[in-house]
Chains A and B, each alone.
Chain A
Amino acid sequence: MRNLTVPISEAAIRELTVGEPVSLNGIIVTGRDTAHKYMIENFIKTHGAIPAAEQAVYEELQALLHDGVIYHCGPVVQQNNGIWSFVAAGPTTSIREEPYQADVIGHFGVRAVIGKGGMGSKTLQACQDHGAVYLHAIGGAAALIARSVKEVIAVHKMEFGVPEAFWVIRVEDFPAVVTMDSHGGSLHQQIKDQSAIRLAKLIKS
C-alpha cells in the first residue's frame, strides 16, 4: 500500500499505475454535481474574469486544489457546539462529472479525483496531459471512510445544500485504489475487456 500525502507532486502521481492500493493523507475537498457546474460556469468559462462575489471562494479553491484532491462525495454531517463532523462519507458515482472533470483538473492542477465507478475517456486524457489519477474509494464503506475524516476545516457554498457544498476536510489513511492512471491506463477498461472474453468462452457453443 502506497502513502499519498497532499499536496501531491506530479512525480508522485506519475509513479502510480492502475490496480495499486493507496492510503491518502492531508487536506482534500468534496465536490459533486452542483460544485462542478459552478466551477465551470464561474471560473473556467469566464476566462479569468471571476465574478467579484466568487473571488474569495475561487482563491480558496485555487490554494486547495493545486496539487490537491477532489472527492465525489455527498456526506451526511452533524454539528455539535458549532463543530462539524462527518457521519457517513462514502463515494458517489463519478461518471456524472465526466463533462466537467477534465477542465477542472486542467484549470486548477488537481492531482487526484476520488469517487466510484470510474470515469470516461475525456478525464483519462486529462489525467495523462496534466499528471493526475482517478482513485476509486470503496462503495458502501461509509462508516469507515467517515472515521478517516479527522477534521472538517471549512465549508464553502453551503447554499448548495449539505451534499453539494465544498467540504474542506483533513483525512488520515483514506483507503482507495488507483483505477485510472496518468499513462492512459484504466482498470475499468481492462477488467471489462477481460470479462467480455471470459463471458464469450463460458457461453460459446
Chain B
Amino acid sequence: MQDLTDAFVELIRRAATQLPADMEQALRKAQAREDPSSAAEGALNTIIRNVEMARQNSTPICQDTGTPIFEIHYPVGISTRKLADQIRRACAIATEHAYLRPNAVDSLTGKNSGDNSGIDYPTMHFNEWDEDGIKVELLLKGGGCENVSTQYKLPNTELGAGRDLEGVRRVVLDAVDKAQGLGCAPGVLGIAVGGDRGSSYVKSKQQLFRPLEDTNPEPQLAELEDRLLEEGNELGIGPMGFGGKTTLLGVKVGTLHRLPASYFVSVAYMCWANRRASMRVQGEEITYA
C-alpha cells in the first residue's frame, strides 16, 4: 500500500477550508427565505461571505477547527495500524500549515499537545468492507455545537415523551429549544435512536456524514426527518439565535438495536460549519469529494 499521508493532509485541508456544496447551497436558500435586511439575513450573508473567503484563501472556515473524526472503509489485507499512523502524521502536518488549530488538550495537565495528537485523538473508526479500494470520510466537529449536543433517556415524563418516534420528536425539539443559537445555528442534527449511551452517541455523529438532500430509506424515519426540520424551524430561533425562519438546515436519523431496558435518543448538533470531506483510493488513483 502506498503512503497516504499527503493525501490525508489534502483531505483535512479540504474539510477545513471548503464547506461542502450541499451546505453552501442550503445556506443560500436560507438567506433568500429570510426577511431582507433582518438580523437573520445579515448573519447568513456574513456566513456565506466568510465561506467564500475561506475557500478562496485556503484558510479555515472557522477558527475552531474542531475534533477530526475519521471514518475509514478498507478492504481485506490493509494494515489499519499503518493507516492510523499516517492519519496522525497528517494531522500534525495540517496543524503546521494552519489548516487545523492545535486543539488537543491533555485532560489531566491542561497542556495543549500543539499538533493535534493525543490520547484517542483524533477519532478514527475502521470498517472493513468488501470493495477493493479505500474510502475515508472526515468530519471536523466544532466545540461550541458539541457543547449543546445531548442525550435523552426515554420515557421522559416532563416532555410527555414515550418510547416511540413521537417521543423522539418531542425530545429532539426540546434539544433544539435548549440549544438556542449557542451551537452557531443554523445547524444540522444527527440523531440516533437506541443503542447504549456510547454507541448511540457515535451513531448520531455518523448521521452527519449524510448529504443534506438524501432520503432515509426507512419511510418512517424519512417522515420524521422532514417533520423535525420543519418544526425545528418553527421555533423561530434563527441564525445565531437572532430570530428568523432558519434554525436547522437538516435532520438525519438512524437507529440501533437496544436493550429492552433502555431507550436512548442522542442528538449531535452540528453548527452551520458542517465541515465534511471524503476521499477514495483506487489503486494509484486518489479522488476527493
Contact = CB atoms under 8 A, between A and B. Distances in A.
A132 B240 CA distance: 21
Contacts of A144: 46, 49-50, 53
Given A21-B37, A199-B173, A203-B159, A143 B238 contact: no
B192 interface: no
Given A143-B53, A147-B53, A187-B243, A90 B63 contact: yes
A178 to B, nearest CB: 8
B184 interface: yes
Interface in B178-206: 180-182, 184
A152 to B, nearest CB: 17
A46 B19 CA distance: 49
B62 interface: yes
A21 B241 CA distance: 14
A138 B47 CA distance: 7
Nearest to B17: A143
B24 to A, nearest CB: 14
Contacts of B223: none
B39 A140 contact: no
Contact of B60 (A1, A143, A194): A143
A177 B180 contact: no
- Which secondary structure characterizes the binding site on chain A? mixed
Given A19-B243, A87-B59, A139-B271, 20 more contacts: A93-B144, A136-B240, A136-B242, A140-B62, A140-B273, A141-B47, A141-B62, A143-B57, A147-B53, A187-B39, A187-B242, A188-B241, A191-B241, A191-B243, A192-B180, A194-B236, A198-B235, A198-B236, A203-B159, A203-B173
Interface of B: 37-39, 42-43, 46-47, 49-50, 53-54, 57, 59-64, 98, 101, 142, 144, 159-160, 169-170, 173-174, 177, 180-182, 184, 231, 234-238, 240-243, 271-273
Interface of A: 1, 19-21, 76, 87-90, 93, 116-118, 136, 138-145, 147, 175, 177, 179, 187-188, 190-192, 194-196, 198-199, 202-203
* 7 nearest A-B residue pairs (beta carbon): A88-B63, A142-B63, A144-B50, A21-B42, A140-B62, A141-B50, A139-B184
